[in-house]
Amino acid sequence: MIGIVGYGAYIPRNRIKVEEIAKVWGADAPSYKRGLMLQEKSVPSPDQDTITMAVEATKNAIKRAGINPAEIGAVYVGSESHPYAVKPSGTTLAEAIGATPDCHCADLEFACKAGSEGMFIAMGLVKAGEIKYGLGVGADTSQGAPGDALEYSASAGAAAFIFGKENVIAECLFTHSWMTDTPDFWRREHQFYPSHGGRFTGEPAYFRTIMGCGTALLKKSGMKPSDFAYAVFHQPNGKFPMTAGKQLGFTEDQMKQGWLCPTLGNTYSGASPIGLTAILDIARPGDKIFMVSYGSGAGSDGFIFQATERIKQVQDKAVHTRAMLDSKSKKYLDYGTYTKYRGKIKLRGE
């Protein structure tokens, strides 16, 4: 049996509301909230980045896995906001958790699906017998250009998954990846903010890809949507995953536990992975879980997991995702503080 041995997430405590951003740009907040099905998003503090959040999420995963981190044979961090263009986030993460030096490491990029890629590769190496445990992390502190539609949703968070063959808490039954060359969203080297194709990011990109992957995964597995207890999709806003999920045949009930975007925003490489952690927090043995990520450019990684008996023993060994999302120590920022934290203000010397 191959699958998830430990999982964990991290969500920073700062938030900013749609109204606060809309007020500055003269936008109509109610229509943004309705249209995007989004109320507020997470914001990283100035001392947080993809690496720090990856470490927090991984520590939670190790608590649940109950393993010696030195036995982790591969560390993959997927992000579109790696602090360095050259120097992997993964080496710092591996050092911080004690997985070095006998460890493979690579940083991954594929817009918002870089996290699920790490999961896919880590699991593949375990399956091949190359490593005992593999770590795949999705983490991002992405930016949206000021006043752009994406500024309302680009947020921060991380999810970490340790794969192995022993003490599996969620078996991976099937995977399927689906990918085309579709330029819906991109960022050139040295650009601070990403560019996107407006409405082109919808039907011809997100929906076409999620449907392509989801349909193929269902076919490959011979399963129907009603076989699943939970489903989670990439969530760039609240609306898209609900629409795509329903198109595939899933219900709101199946999707709502993993549907975090309305109060979290779009954590990019963390999006569907963090949604998966929220599901694993309450999944019961035998529950089947359907996950399809999405990364612009464009592609989707699909997974079918099934919770094992052991999941009950580990769920409470680390903080639950929704507890972090709804935390009482959430701090709401004004737009000025938000821009300071996000490095959007031109400082002297720049």
Partner 1 sequence: MRDVAVIGVGMNKWGEIWEAAIRDLLAESVLLALDDAGIDSVEAMYIGCMSSGLFTHQEHLGSMGPDYAGICPTPGTRVESACASGGAAIRAGYMHVASGLADIVMVAGVEKMTDVDGGGATFALATAADQEYEVYNGVTFPGLYAMMANHHMNKYGTTRDQMAQVAVKNHLNGSKNPLAQFRMKVTLDQVKNSVMVSDPLTLLDCSPITDGSAAVVLCSMDKAKELSKKRLVKIIGSGHASDTIQLSQREDISYLKSTELAAKQALKMAGRKIADIDFAEVHDCFTIAEIMVIEALGIAEVGKGGKATTDGITAFDGKFPVNTSGGLKSKGHPVGATGVAQIVELTRQIRGDVEKDRQLKKANIGLAQNMGGSGGSSVVHILEGM
DSSP 102-139: S-EEEEE-BTBTHHHHHHHHHHHHHHHTS-SEEEEEEE
Q: Which is nearer to partner 1, 203 or 253 (CB)?
A: 203
Buried b (16+ CB within 10 A) or exposed e, 65-76: bebebebbbbbb
Q: How far is the CB of 296 from partner 1 (least distance, A)?
A: 15
Q: Which is nearer to partner 1, 146 or 249 (CB)?
A: 146
**φ, ψ dihedrals at 327, nearest 5°:** -50, 145
Give strand ranges (E) for the chain. Answer: 3-10, 14-17, 40-43, 72-78, 104-108, 133-141, 156-164, 170-182, 185-186, 195-196, 230-233, 288-292, 297-307, 331-332
Q: Strands 195-196, 40-43: parallel, antiparallel or unpaired by DSSP?
A: unpaired
Radius of gyration for the chain, computed over Cα atoms and rounded to the nearest angstrom: 19
Question: How many Å apart are CA 256 and CA 90, to the nearest integer?
Answer: 31
Q: Which is nearer to partner 1, 87 or 199 (CB)?
A: 199
Q: Which is nearer to partner 1, 198 or 349 (CB)?
A: 198
Q: Which is nearer to partner 1, 146 or 197 (CB)?
A: 197
| Non-local CB neighbours of 264 within 8 Å, separated by 6+ positions | 11, 41, 42, 155, 157, 274, 325
Which of 43, 54, 296 is closest to 156 using CA atoms? 43
Residues that bind partner 1 (CB under 8 A): 28, 31, 197-200, 203-204
Q: Which is nearer to partner 1, 199 or 310 (CB)?
A: 199
Q: How far is the CB of 98 from partner 1 (least distance, A)?
A: 47
Question: How many Å apart are CA 25 and CA 23, to the nearest integer?
Answer: 6
Please provide the distance, in angstroms rounded to a whole number, between the alpha carbons at the two ends of the chain: 53
Query: What positions carry a catalytic annotation?
Result: 80, 112, 234
